[in-house]
Amino acid sequence: MSFRRRHVRATARAQRGQALIWLIGVMGAAIAVLYGIYNVTQVSVGKEKAVNAADTAALAGAKVEARMLNLMAYNNRSMIANEVALVQFASMDAWLGYFAKTAQNIGGVLEWIPYVNEIGVLLKEFGDAAQYARDYVTTYALDAVIVATEFEKDALGIAHGLIRTGGWMVARDAAKATVAANRANFNGHDDAGVALESTATDLLVGKHSYDWWNLTQMYSGSQRDEVAKVIQDSRDSWSTNRPGQWYMNFTVPLLPPQGVKKLGPTVLADFDHWQTEDTWEHWIWTPSGNKWSTIGDGRTNVTTDGNDKGRMAPGHAGQKDAQKDEKTHRYWTGMPSLYDLPRYKTLKEKQAAGVDFAVVVVRDQSANLTTSRLQMGHDPGVSPIGASNMDERLAGDRVAAIGNAKTFFERPAATSGDKTGKSLFRSDTSKEYGSLYSPYWEARLLTVDSGLKLSVYTALKITPKLSFWTP
């Protein structure tokens, strides 16, 4: 055997077992990497659970508040509809009085004329029936409508006050319930999961309660101009200005100029007085001025104090003849005092109408099944080389997430291209801005800005670091 061959064999014997050492080293490094990947994954999953819970809780709170604003809008619309119904009954009451008086007057003349006297008798009977319907049907029905309107007005007013005062509390409870639903309990195994961070959340909810209170405002007294406008615009054409309004002037030989005039308006004299009047009058010229006489006249007033507050045509002396038939209904409290948004002046303010709702959710480090939680390699007495501790060192021993959502107003429009909301489009295709007259309040998630983060950091007494997780 040559020297070279003997040298190679000797070298091979000397290096025997070195591969095993390298294998053990590589396996140790791989295990360490796996430990790290496992721990990072567990922390990341825990963080994701906290983020999801925070977003869901914030969105739940904002959705609750959106529904409460929609409820206030429906209530406002209900009160407006009641006032419109009241005006319609008042208009019907006045018109029946007008019809009764007109039929009786014309019939009283015709019954003395040959060949048409039967028509005159029939007209008088129609007039008597209309007067009976007015005295015993519409008059009492209008009183019942006033009572029902006032009862619902009071009830809905109380509901609005409760929503405005405690709406943020309901939203907070919805957020708490949502976070609690993320806590698992299976067959006796309780996963502590996530929880609301009380200090930071209370700080945010405290500010939110102030914002929620100032989101809406009650308009009463002389501020009810917008309420009055909405109610008047919501009336149908009949209760606004009944058909058949006309006037005609004519001249009869050997007689002075004369004419007839027909009116039928229903007007809001002021915030506490509806006045409806139907008249058909005849006038004739005299040297001292036109002389008016009433062919038919019906008046109905709905007031807070029973005062009719003047004639709609005070210069017409003939209308005084019908004053005894006038119906005045009291105990109406006037235009309702409705809640609405503050009257924003700029377009930017109108577009930003709404309120934010934020919460902070935390997950304790102990809830993450990392190697430190499982006590893997944490006994330094196991090996002379020590322990393989790989603690995650989370800030405050927990991960935290901030959820932020906004309640906002948006009505689908034809210009948006969303065909699914076609039934909700405005007929005039105009952009509609937030109010408590339309139930189109929604909720969406918002990004967490630096100001909100800083508030949370301050509440948690944490100096911002890269290790502090934020959504």
DSSP of 309-376: -S-SSTT-GGGGGGGGG-EEE-----S--EEE-----SHHHHHT-EEEEEEEEEEEGGGS--TTTTTT
On whether both 56 and 195 belong to a single domain, the answer is yes
Residue 365 lies inside a defined structural domain of this protein: yes
- How do strand 291-303 and strand 327-329 relate by DSSP bridges? parallel
Q: Distance (Å, rounded) from C-alpha 263 to C-alpha 258?
A: 17
Residue 257 lies inside a defined structural domain of this protein: yes
On whether both 254 and 283 belong to a single domain, the answer is yes
pTM: 0.81
On whether both 158 and 258 belong to a single domain, the answer is no
Question: What pLDDT is attached to residue 459?
Answer: 76
Q: Distance (Å, rounded) from C-alpha 324 to C-alpha 344?
A: 48
Query: Six-digit token pair at 179?
Result: 């976070």
Question: What pLDDT is attached to residue 314?
Answer: 47
- Which amino acid, 240? T
Question: What pLDDT is attached to residue 206?
Answer: 86
On whether both 82 and 200 belong to a single domain, the answer is yes
User: Sign of the CA dihedral 146, 148, 151, 155?
Assistant: negative
Residue-wise pLDDT for 131-145, tens only, equals 999 988 888 999 999
Q: Which of 407, 429, 411 is nearest to 421 (CA)?
A: 411
Q: Which residues pair with 339 in a beta bridge?
A: 218
Q: Which residues pair with 261 in a beta bridge?
A: 247, 281
Question: What pLDDT is attached to residue 344?
Answer: 84
Indicate the SS3 state at residue 263: strand
On whether both 210 and 252 belong to a single domain, the answer is no
Residue 325 lies inside a defined structural domain of this protein: yes
Instruction: Name, in order, each residue with C-beta under 8 angstroms of 387's C-beta and a sequence gap of 6 or more.
Output: 377, 378, 379, 380
On whether both 359 and 324 belong to a single domain, the answer is no
Q: Distance (Å, rounded) from C-alpha 96 to C-alpha 435?
A: 38
CB 250 within 8 A of CB 259: yes
Question: What pLDDT is attached to residue 275?
Answer: 87
Number of Cβ within a 10 Å radius of residue 385: 7
Helix (H) or strand (E) holding 186: strand 184-186
Alpha-carbon Rg for the chain in angstroms: 40
Last residue of a domain, one of 269, 301, 329: 329
Residue 398 lies inside a defined structural domain of this protein: yes
- Which amino acid, 1? M
On whether both 297 and 321 belong to a single domain, the answer is yes
Last residue of a domain, one of 329, 363, 379: 329
Question: What pLDDT is attached to residue 384?
Answer: 46
Last residue of a domain, one of 278, 296, 329: 329
Q: Distance (Å, rounded) from C-alpha 281 to C-alpha 377?
A: 106
On whether both 376 and 305 belong to a single domain, the answer is no
Q: Into how many domains does the chain fold?
A: 2
On whether both 64 and 174 belong to a single domain, the answer is yes
Question: What pLDDT is attached to residue 262?
Answer: 85
Residue 5 lies inside a defined structural domain of this protein: no
On whether both 213 and 67 belong to a single domain, the answer is yes
Question: What pLDDT is attached to residue 467?
Answer: 44
Residue 81 lies inside a defined structural domain of this protein: yes
Compute the residue count for the chain.
471
Alpha carbon 313 to chain centroid distance? 42
Question: What pLDDT is attached to residue 440?
Answer: 93
Residue 39 lies inside a defined structural domain of this protein: no
State how far the alpha carbon of 429 is from the alpha carbons of 90, 322, 413, in Å.
34, 47, 6
Enclosing domain of residue 128: 49-112+119-182+190-217+344-460
Low-confidence ranges of the chain (pLDDT < 70): 1-21, 25, 28-29, 31-44, 183-192, 308-325, 364-398, 416-418, 462-471
Residue 43 lies inside a defined structural domain of this protein: no
Residue-wise pLDDT for 325-377, tens only, equals 678 888 899 999 999 999 888 888 888 889 999 998 887 666 665 655 555 55
On whether both 197 and 250 belong to a single domain, the answer is no
Q: Distance (Å, rounded) from C-alpha 242 to C-alpha 277?
A: 10
On whether both 194 and 237 belong to a single domain, the answer is no
DSSP 196: E
